[in-house]
Each structure stands twice: as structure tokens, then as C-alpha cells.
Structure 1
Amino acid sequence: METEVSTVPQHRLLRTEIPGPRSQELQARKRAAVASGVGTTLPVYIEGAGGGILVDVDGNQLIDFGSGIAVTSVGNSAPRVVEAVRDQVGDFTHTCFMVTPYEEYLAVCEALNELTPGTHAKRSALFNSGAEAVENAIKVARHATGRTAVIAFDHAYHGRTNLTMALTAKSMPYKHGFGPFAGEVYRAPMAYPYRWPTGPERCAEEAFAAFVEQVHAQVGETNVAAVIVEPIQGEGGFIVPAPGFLPKVADWCRQHGIVFIADEIQSGFCRTGDWFASEHEGIVPDLVTTAKGMAGGLPLAAVTGRAELMDAVHGGGLGGTYGGNPVACAAALAAIETMRAEDLNGAAKRIEAVMLPRLRDLAVSYDVIGDVRGRGAMLAVELVQGGGSTQPNPALTARISAACHREGLVTLTAGTFGNVLRFLPPLVIGEDLLNEGLDIIEAALAAHA
């Protein structure tokens, strides 16, 4: 499973407490220089990384179960990415594709058109961030349909700009105090199996029926430009919709001339064991938004979709000064080559095969684990009060994550209720590091649950 992906030694090493003295010094500088609204999950300052290891300024080597929030899927400073970026920087760093274009942009669009689900004619446009991609997907859908309403779902996360905050469900910290938000955005229930009132077996049918009824009554199908959904919800807690729900929604959109947008920003590019999470149920979205894992750590995002939709927008209607920067494009092409050459879809499945059984075993031992879910290398546990209660337990979640951090394991939390531990290891991580990380999680549960 482990590939020669880095010169960084692939083992955990703690030389100091976490965070160490040098990181604490830098954190003091952060407080003095950086806006306090920019938070930090784990204030260890990194000076090197590769494979499944992060090296901090105090010489500690931490196991990475976060991948920069699913960004460094091919590993940090992956060799092909490094080489491509160096070559491109030596040639030129920017011209603005809208002024004087370059081949790298074309090559990324061609790759996206090939890789995203469906054999129909496609077009792509490149941007800088996931939120930008979502905003532009909504622009395309509204322009192509002549309609204005957009349907998002409970527990959704789509970004931090004004429109994407409107699409996002969770208030704190993403929306609190930032309104008013963009209009003509409506929210529908998500098929959340663990928390569906009548149980997971009835979740897909009942959630779809509620979705159809709510949109019909509150919005009207002929007013809806787009439905946007994460095939596996990210910040909402790695919620995997009940099987059958998303295909029903996609079919309903086709029946009513509504654009179905799959937000694959966190779930795309081999993260779930497929190129895109939509493929698991054979869903072919009209538009797909991508970012995060696409470019090996460099900022790049895209909207890819049906040619007739993408081409409906007038010339100059899509773009941005930095969108599709040539260095980021070179990185993306190298990252995609790495995904193919190293079979990172297979690697994600192998990560699932290691992690999922152990997480399920922990759920048997600890009743505070209410649910274990996810796919590929996008896995999570939802923590509850236990003793038969499904009441969310964000305090325990925070304690366990902090305990993992002290032991040199980078973990992330998520969930509308703040009670989910989510795991996003680099797809090139070694099995020994996976198991060591799971040992740390198990010890944290033993100590705090």
C-alpha cells in the first residue's frame, strides 16, 4: 500500500509537548498579526510534510488524518506535482487566461470533461476556490434556465461567500452575524439515515417525498433553476444519503428541467474510491463543482457540465483574474497523473478496508459512538451521549480530538451539532500509520468516553 511518495520519514515522533515551544511562539505572533476570525484547529506550525506525516517547527512528526481538509490527497509535495510546478514557474507564472491564454488551462478542462460522470459533451471553466466554483455553477444554472430559485439541503456546506453561506446550513461559525444573505435559496430535508425519525430503512423514500412536497408547495418546480447537493456531505458530518435518495432527486430534476449540481469539492478525485462520489449510485450530474484534492495543494477549482448549459452563458460572463492560474493547472495535471499511476481509487478502498472495521469494532465497545459512516478515505464517527440516547455529544468530541492532537495525530471535527470526528488521510498513507492513528483514537476513547 505504501509508495515512495516523500523523503519525509514515515513515522510518528514527539520531541516536545504538542504544541511545542517554537509553535507557541509563532502562535503568539499569529494573535498579534492575523485577524482573530481566522481560527486554527491545531496550532502546530508545519515546516515539512510528505506521505502521511506532517513535520512541525519543533521537530515533531504528526500522523495526518486531515490532508488539509481533503486537499493533499496525493500526499504533500508529491514528486510529480513538485516537478510540474517547478517547471511551470520557470516558464511563466501568470498572464490571465482571459487576456492571453495558455495550453495548461485547456489540458485541465479536457481532463475534467473526461473524468467527470457521463459521456455527454461537456465544457469546463476554472476558478480559485470551492466557493467560487459553487457561485459560478449557480450562475450557469440560472442563466441557462431563466429561473432563479435554488434548493439546498439540511446539513449542507457550500462555502463562505455570501451566496454560498446562504446555501450552507450551519450557523456557527459560518453564517453567524454575516447576513443578510443572497435570496431565492430554499432548504430541503436531507436523507440522514442515522437521524431519520422512522429509521434508516424508510429514510430514502420518506426524505424524497418530503423534498418533492416541500419544493412543490413552497417554491414551485417551474421556478427552480438548480438543486445542489454534496453526494457525501462534508462539514455537515460526512452524512452519506440513504441509498436511492440522490438518484430519485436527480431523476426528478430531469423531469422538471432543473439543473442537478453535484458539489464534489470534498468528495471528488478518488477520495471515496471512485473519481467522484456520484459514481457510486450511477448519478450523472448536469454540473459538477470541484476543488480541494484536484491540484495537490495549490488553489484551483472548476465547474464542469453539459455543453449546452455551460455554453448558454454569454462571452465574458464567466472568469476571474486568477482563475486557472498556470502553476495551479500544472499541479492539477500532475496530481491527476499521480492518481492514475498510483491507483489512488484503489488506495482509498484499501484505507476503508483498514479503518472501517476497526471503527465499527470501537462502536461495539463504546456506546457513545452512535454511527460509523463514510466511503473510501472519507470516514467518520458520530458521538452521542450514549446509554441509549442519540443526543449529540460535542463536548466529548472536542475532548477526544484534543487527546489525539496531544499524541501527534491530526484529526478534524465536523457536523451540524459539532459531534463528528472525520477522517481524511492522504491516499498515499501507509497502513502502519493508519493503524497507529486508530490506536491513538482508541486510547482517547478509553480515556475520555
Structure 2
Amino acid sequence: MIAAAAIARLAAREANHFRAANPRAFAHHAAATGWFQSVPFHWMRDWPSPVPIVAASATGATLTSIDEQTYDDFCLGDTASLFGHSPPALAVALAQQASQGLSYMLPTTRGAALADRLAAMFGLPQWQVTTTASEANRAVIRWCRGISGRPKILTFNGAYHGAVDDAFVDLNGGVPTMRASLVGQVHDLRDTTTVIEFNDEEALATALRGGDIACVLAEPVMTNVGMVRDAPGFLATLRKLCDETGTLLVFDETHTISSGYGGHGVAHGPAPDLMVVGKSIGGGVPCAVYGFSAEVAERMAALNTSRPSGHSGIGTTLSANALAITAMDMMLSDVITPAAYDPMLRGAARLVAGLEQEIAAADLDWHVTQVGARVEFLTCPTPPRDGGEAKAAMNPELEAAIHLFLANRGILLAPFHNMMLVSPVTTGDQIDRLVGAFADCVRALKE
């Protein structure tokens, strides 16, 4: 157990260290009065440092700030750059596409090649392109409700599906509750969203057998409340119950593409009816895709023929723009390959072993969880079984102090929890520096 006073002392000391080392960042934020709270998007304020680091450039698994600080980057744009910042082949392809037009609102031959690559990688035959994974999740929810005629979706407590309104329902003491952080929500989402705990087979069976759930929208492994692994047999039971009740199974693999080539469903099973992938699939260019089975495609086509013409509520003018198509095609052809996962998984295993060794040496009741190239240390003794347990185990003050300590020593983690990503270009030296800095932080907390 780390004492609260020790956490506060470390946090104050590290904040002073950051102020001294990053004068240009402070000047930048003081001058950026045209941005709300000095940043172009509000969650950029969520870093634990006194002000956000201001990026100057990034390449591979290294980021440099305007204060000329160099960071071993284990955040990697919160998965957007999971396969490294600006892979050379991607940079060349984007420059070439920029000279040929960026958005046509028309299909291209490169888009046809991309569809074939998606089908080969993820095992689903039909695809559509959106601008973000949030948008893809919204589209999938609309299609599932439309083709099933059912009003509700089912999600898991603490799951992450981007900015999709329907997913912002939590369990609070077992009671469905609208997420308190949701801004400006006026409709009660609980009328059309059922939420249960992950790994709860009994609650799942009860909910699905009611016959009003259009789809289950799930991360095959939960990734935004720490990481919560699927209990043995749970995903197989989920697949079986969806088949039994005529419920569509949707995997949001935006984060769990870290599990292996083709994502978690391909690497470990089962296969979903529909899936969503965003962020890393374009190497950081805003784009996402959703794929679906031939049977789902037939039902979607039938729905299209039965409805009046007009806007479907799905997609935007920039959906499937030429730049996004080029980015995804190049990523899938040259960067996100089966061979790329070998160094990612070896590096993640090295990171896990190092962190576990230091946790044991410090006699801490913490543990480490791994989902392929995604690693997380949780400051609790046993892996949480569900989102409720995971949220209860979080220690925001401790996590923020650790993150700031690491940042001051050139190690960048994602700001929202203790997630670390290993890319194909992350080096062994970078991993060892992270482990060493983590050990130094633990020693400082126990002084």
C-alpha cells in the first residue's frame, strides 16, 4: 500500500520538476487564447502534467516536444499510432495522394484493393468506411436496429466505444445510470440501452432472452477501465447466446487490434457478425471501417430497398475520402502485417516480465495485464473480473503521480490510465528504460 502522503509529496515534487523543464510549453498555453482552455480539443487537458506537453514532432516510437524533450512514446496517440509514428511508406503515399486530390465523393481503384485487404485480414466479406470509430459504431447500431426491428442494444459496464451516446450507460451499485460525465444529454439512454457487467453469463442470458436486443456491442477485452480480460469461455458463451436469440454480435476492435493480426476475434475467436476498427488502421489519419458478414449484408440491402430515399443518418461527406482510403490501403499492405506483430508481442512480453519483476521486488500488491501489444499495470492485487471491480480498484492520484514521474524521465504513457503500447519499432532499450523508470518511481513512493 502506498500512503496518500507519499503520493502527494511525489506529485508536488514532479510538478515542480516539470515546470522547470518545460518553459516553452507554459508560454505556448498562455498564448493560445483562441483555443478553449488553450487546446484544440478538450481532452488534451487530461494529462497529469501542470500543462500538456506540446508536441513538435514524432517518428517511430519517439516523440519530441517544443521544449526539446525527447520521449520514449508508449502512448502512441492512444492507439492511433500503434504501428509507429509516420511509417515511411505511409508518409510517401499520403504526399502522393495530396497532389492528386483529397476527397472526391467517388470510389477509386485503390478503394477496391483496400476492401480485399480488409476481408483477408479480418475475415468478414463486406466493408464500409467512416471518418472515426465513433461514427462507425453509430452506423453499426443503426444498421442492427434497422435490420432486426429491435430497439435496444446491450453494452458492458465500463466499456469504451468512443463518443457513441448509446454506450454511455453505467452500472452504479448494480443500477443502470446515465454516465455523469456526459455533456448535454437530454434523452434517457436507459430506455434503449441495456448494460450488464462483463463476464456475467447469467445476466447476459437473461437480457438476450428478452428478445428486444438488436445487438451486443462489445470490446472482446475491456480496455478503458484498466484492462479486464474475458473469463474462460465467456466469449464463446456470448457467441452462442447471440445465435440462440437472433442477436447480432458486434466487436469493437479499435483497441484490441493489439491482440494479433486480424484483431482479437481472428487471433482468439469467436467471429462476430459485425466489427469496427478505427485509429491505427489509418496510421493516425482520421478514418475507420466496419465490416459484416454476407448474411448481414443481405439484410442491409433488403432494408435499403424497403426504405424511402434520403439521408440514412449514416455517414458524412468526408466518409471514405481519398486520403483515408490511401492511408488504410498503405497501412494494410506495408505496415500492419503478420510480421509486424512479432516484435510487438516480443516487446510486450519483455515489458510484462520487467514490470512484474519490479512489482515483486518492491513487494507491492499490484499486477500486470497484457492483451497482445497492449500492457497495463493495475494498482490492485488481483485482476478485476468486470468493469465495476476495475473502476473500484482505480487510484487516480497514484496513477497521475506515476505518469508525471515517468514523463519527467522521458517516458510517455497514455494519460487516461496505465496503458502502454508496444509498436513494431519500439526498441528493447526503450522498454528497459520504462521498466527502470518505473522501478525508480516505486522506490520514490516508498521512501
TM-score range, shorter chain: 0.7 to 0.9
| Residue of structure 1 in register with 2:187 after alignment | 180
- Whether 2:321 is the aligned partner of 1:325: answer yes
Q: 2:120 aligns with which of 114, 128, 131?
A: 114
Q: 1:288 aligns with which of 260, 266, 275?
A: 275
Q: Say whether 1:312 aligns with 2:299.
A: yes
Q: Quickly say closer, same or farther: Cα 1:340–1:274, change in 2 above 3 A.
A: closer
1:139 to 130, 139, 142: 142
Counterpart of 1:245, as a letter, is F
| Aligned residue runs from structure 1 range 226-375, under 5 A | 226-268=215-257, 271-313=258-300, 314=304, 317=312, 318-339=314-335, 343-366=339-362, 368-375=364-371
Correspondence for 1:6: none
**1:342-397, Cα deviation, whole Å (9 max, x unpaired):** 811212211222111112223323454533112221111111499xx985422211
Aligned-residue identity in percent: 20
Question: CA 1:401–1:16 in 2, change beyond 3 Å: closer, same or farther?
Answer: closer
Partner residue, 1:9 = none
- The question of whether the paired residues in 1 share the 8 Å contact of 2:81 and 2:280 is answered with yes
Q: 1:103: which partner in 2?
A: 109
Distance 1:341 1:190, change over 3 A: closer
1:267 positional shift: 1.5
Alpha-carbon distance in structure 2 between the residues aligned to 1:391 and 1:113: 39
SS in 2 for 1:235: coil
Structure 2: gaps (5+ residues): 1-16, 306-310, 383-388
Distance 1:108 1:236, change over 3 A: farther
- 2:424 equivalent to 1:427: yes
Letter in 1 for 2:426: I
Equivalent residue, structure 2, for 1:189:
197
Q: String of CA shifts for 1:158-205, please: whole Å, max 9, x gaps.
A: 1224234348999778526645354410001112xxxxxxxxxxxxxx
CA contact (8 A) 2:169 2:177 kept: no
Contact 1:64 1:426 in 2 (8 A): no
Question: Shift in Å at residue 107 of structure 1?
Answer: 2.6
Equivalent position amino acid for 1:153 in 2: F
Partner residue of 1:21 out of 1, 20, 23: 23
Instruction: Tell me the residue number matched to 2:5.
Output: none
CA distance in 2 between partners of 1:167 and 1:91 (Å): 46
Q: Give the TM-score normalised by structure 1.
A: 0.82
AA aligned opposite 2:137: V
Letter in structure 1 aligned against 2:204? F
Contact (CA 8 Å) 2:365, 2:380: kept in 1 or not? yes
Q: Give the drift of 1:244.
A: 1.4
Alpha carbons 2:170, 2:177 under 8 Å: kept = no
Q: Which residue of 436, 445, 448 corresponds with 2:445? A: 448
**Structure 1 pair 306–44 and aligned structure 2 pair: CA distance change class (3 A):** same
1:394 aligns with 2:396: yes
Q: Deviations over 1:13-66 (max 9, x none)?
A: xx9967612221122234552257443325111121111100111221111011
Aligned-partner SS, 2:379: strand
Give the AA of the match of 2:143.
Answer: V
Residues 210-255 of structure 1 show CA distances to partners (whole Å, capped at 9, x for unaligned) of 3213544xxx1x2111011101212121211112111110111011
How many angstroms apart in 2 are the aligned matches of 1:180 and 1:18? 47
Instruction: After TM superposition, give the deviation of residue 280 of structure 1 in Å.
Output: 3.5
* Structure 1 residues 170 and 229: CA distance shift in structure 2, 3 A: farther
**Could you tell me how far apart the structure 1 residues matched to 2:231 and 2:188 are?**
30
- Please give the secondary structure, in 2, of the residue aligned with 1:346: helix
Judged with a 3 Å threshold, the aligned counterparts in structure 2 of structure 1 residues 400 and 291 are, in CA distance, closer, same or farther, namely same
Q: Which moved more, 1:28-37 or 1:289-298?
A: 28-37
Shift in CA distance, 187/334, structure 1 to aligned 2, threshold 3 Å: same
Q: Which amino acid aligns with 1:70?
A: T
Aligned residue pair count: 401
Greater shift, 177-186 or 70-79, is seen at: 177-186
Report the structure, 1 or 2, having the larger helix content: 2
**Contact 2:178/2:188 (CA < 8 Å) preserved in 1?**
no
Q: Paired residue for 1:5? A: none
1:39 is matched with: 44
Question: Residue 345 of structure 2: SS of its match in structure 1?
Answer: helix
CA distance in 2, matches of 1:257, 1:312: 13
Assess if the C-alpha contact under 8 Å between 2:158 and 2:170 holds in 1: no
Residue of structure 1 equivalent to 2:374: 378
Shift of 1:129: 0.8
Residues 447 and 31 from structure 1, CA distance in 2 versus in 1: closer, same or farther, beyond 3 angstroms? farther
How far apart are residue 331 of structure 1 and its match? 1.1
- Distance apart, 1:68 and its partner CA: 0.3
Matched to 1:67, the amino acid is L
Q: Deviations over 1:385-419 (max 9, x none)?
A: 99xx98542221111111111112111254xxxxx
Tell me what 2:168 maps to. 165
CA displacement at 1:281 relative to structure 2? 2.7
Q: 1:171 to 1:51 in 2, by over 3 A?
A: farther
Alignment root-mean-square deviation, CA? 2.7
